[in-house]
Chains A and B, each alone.
Chain A
Amino acid sequence: MIHLNELNALSKEQRPAVELRDVWYSYDGRSYILRGIDLKVLRGSSLMILGSSGSGKTTLLKIMCGLLKPSKGSVSILGAEVTDPSNGNHIRRQIGYIPQQLGLVRSLTVLENVLMGALPRMGFVNSLLSIYPKSEVEFAEQCLGVVGLSHKAGEKVYRLSGGERQRVAIARALMQKSRIILADEFISELDYVRAREVMDIMSNLRREGVTLICVTHDVDIAAEYGENAVILRGGEKVVEISARKLTPDLLKESFNED
C-alpha cells in the first residue's frame, strides 16, 4: 500500500495540472503586469491566489486558461504546452474558467447555460440548432444535481440569486468535463454562509481529482479551502506558503512592502 501511495505521489510530481515557467505578460510591451512567475499546481490540489487590486491575479488566470498568451515564458496544462497552437482547443476543454462576473447569459435558462459547456464537443449544425444528444442533456442535469440546482433548470438566469448564479457557473465548468477549475473572485459578493456552501461544492469536486485554482480576497476562505497559497504584488510572486499558514497580518505585510 505504501508503495502505491508513493507511486501516486511520484506521478503527481511528474505531471502537474498547471505549470508556469518564468511567465511575463505585458499589454503594450513596456510595463509588465506579470514578472517572471514560476508556479506548479499539482493535480487534485487547490491553490489560492491573493494580492491587492492590480497585482496581476486576473491576468494570471487568463494566461492559465489560454485567453492571453504570455509575452515570455511557457505554460503547460496537464503536460501539454498552451503556447503550442496545435493544442489549442484540446487544452481549453480541460479548463473551466469562471470569470469574476461569472460570464452567464442572463437571458437564457439555467439548463441552456450549463449545456454551453458541451458546445465544443458538438457537431457544427447540431450545436447551432441546439440539438443536444440525450446523453449531454442527462449529463447537464447531473451537473445541476451536483450543485443542487436541479429544480431551477428551466429558470432564466436573471431570475436567480447571486449564490445560485455561482452554482450555475460551476455546473457549466463541470459540463466541460474540465479537470481544472479556475475561479476569479467569484464568491466575493456572497455572504458568509453562501460563500461556504459554494466552496464546499468546489472541495467535493477536488475529491474526484479536479484541480482548483481560486483568486480571492478572503483570507479565511483561502485558509479554510486552500492547500497552497501564493500572494502577488506588482506582478511578482512574493509569498508561496501552505494556505493554512495564511494570516491577515501576513497579507497586510506583503501588500504594503514597497
Chain B
Amino acid sequence: MKIKRTNVQIWLSLLIASAVLLHNMGFFDPSRLKTGLANISLFIRELFPPDPSVVGQVSWAIVETIQMAFAGTVLGSIVSIPLALLGARNIISGVPNAIARLLLSVVRVVPALLWAIIFVVAFGLGPLPGTLGLAAYSLGYLGKLYYEAFEAVDPELLEATKAIGCSKLQQIRYVIIPETANTIISQFLFLFEYNVRASTILGFVGAGGVGFYMLGYIQLFQYQRLMTTLLLTLCVILFIDFVSAKVRDRFLIHISK
C-alpha cells in the first residue's frame, strides 16, 4: 500500500512540534533530569515504612472529608433540580430558561478548588467552606446533567398529559421526575464519588478534611506519615467507588427495562 505523502508530512510536523515544546519545557536538559530522578527515588524511599501513629487522627480527617463530600453533593443536587427544571427547554422556554442555563454554566466554569478558596475567604477555615465549594461545583455539574435528562423525556408523555389538562407542575411531578428518577440518583452517586476524591485536595486551601494533614506532612517533610494518609485515603476511595458503582449499576439496569 502506498503511504500518502500528506499523511507523512502531518505526522512529521506533529513530531517536530512536540519535540520543540518538550525542549522548551526543559525536557532535554540531562543534568536536570538526573537530579529529578534521584530526588524521586529518595522521596519514594523516605515514604517507607508508613508511620502508623497517625492512623487515628487521619481516619477522623477522612471521615470529615466524606461528610463534606456527602453534604456538598446533597446541597448541590437539591438546588440543582429546580434550576435544571428551569433549564430544560421542553419545560420552560424563553428568558427564564436562558438565565437558568447561563447561571449553571457560570457556576460550572469555576473549579471546585477555586470555589473552596472563595468560601474560605468568606467563612474562614474549616469544613464549612469546603462543603459549600463542593456544593457549588455539584450544582453546576448536576444542573447540566439533570436538564439534559429532563429534555430526553419522551415528548409524547408530555403531550399526553397536556391533553389530559395537567398543569406544568403536575407534569413535572408525575412525568418528568418519575421518568428521570434513576438518572437523578445515579448521577448523584457518581458526583459523590467524584467529590470524595476532589475534597481530599480542598484541605490544601484550608477548607477542611484530610488534605489539611497531607499538606502539613509535606511541608514538615514527614513523608512516612504522608504515606499512611495516602494509603488510608486510597482504601476509602476505592471502597466508596466500588459500592457506589454497584448501586448505580442497579439503577441503570432498572432504566433499560
Contacts and interface: CB of A to CB of B under 8 A. Distances in A.
Interface of A: 62, 65-67, 89, 92-93, 95-108, 112, 116-117, 119-120, 124, 127-128, 158, 172, 176
Nearest to A182: B163
B175 interface: yes
B174 A105 contact: yes
Contacts of A124: 169
Contacts of B157: 103-105
B162 interface: yes
B123 to A, nearest CB: 35
Contacts of B162: 67
A127 B170 contact: yes
A99 B159 contact: yes
B179 A120 contact: no
Contacts of A103: 154, 156-157, 159-161
Given A99-B163, A102-B160, 4 more contacts: A97-B160, A97-B163, A124-B169, A172-B164
A119 B165 contact: yes
26 contacts: A66-B163, A67-B159, A92-B163, A96-B164, A97-B163, A98-B160, A99-B160, A102-B160, A103-B159, A103-B161, A104-B157, A104-B160, A105-B174, A105-B175, A105-B179, A107-B182, A116-B161, A116-B164, A120-B164, A120-B166, A120-B167, A124-B169, A128-B170, A128-B173, A176-B164, A176-B165
A119 B173 CA distance: 11
A60 to B, nearest CB: 14
B160 A106 contact: no
Interface in B158-195: 159-167, 169-170, 173-175, 178-179, 181-182
A6 to B, nearest CB: 36
Contacts of A107: 178-179, 181-182
B160 A108 contact: no
A93 B165 CA distance: 7
Contacts of B4: none
Given A99-B156, A108-B178, A120 B163 contact: no
Nearest to B181: A107
A95 B165 CA distance: 10
A89 B170 contact: no
B174 A108 contact: yes
B163 A67 contact: yes
A100 B181 CA distance: 24
Contacts of A65: 163
A117 B164 contact: yes
A95 B181 CA distance: 30
B257 interface: yes
A157 to B, nearest CB: 10
A229 to B, nearest CB: 23
Contacts of A127: 170, 173
Nearest to B170: A119
Nearest to A93: B165
Contacts of B165: 89, 92-93, 119-120, 176
Nearest to A91: B165
A101 B155 CA distance: 11
Nearest to A92: B165
A96 B156 CA distance: 14
Contacts of A67: 159, 162-163
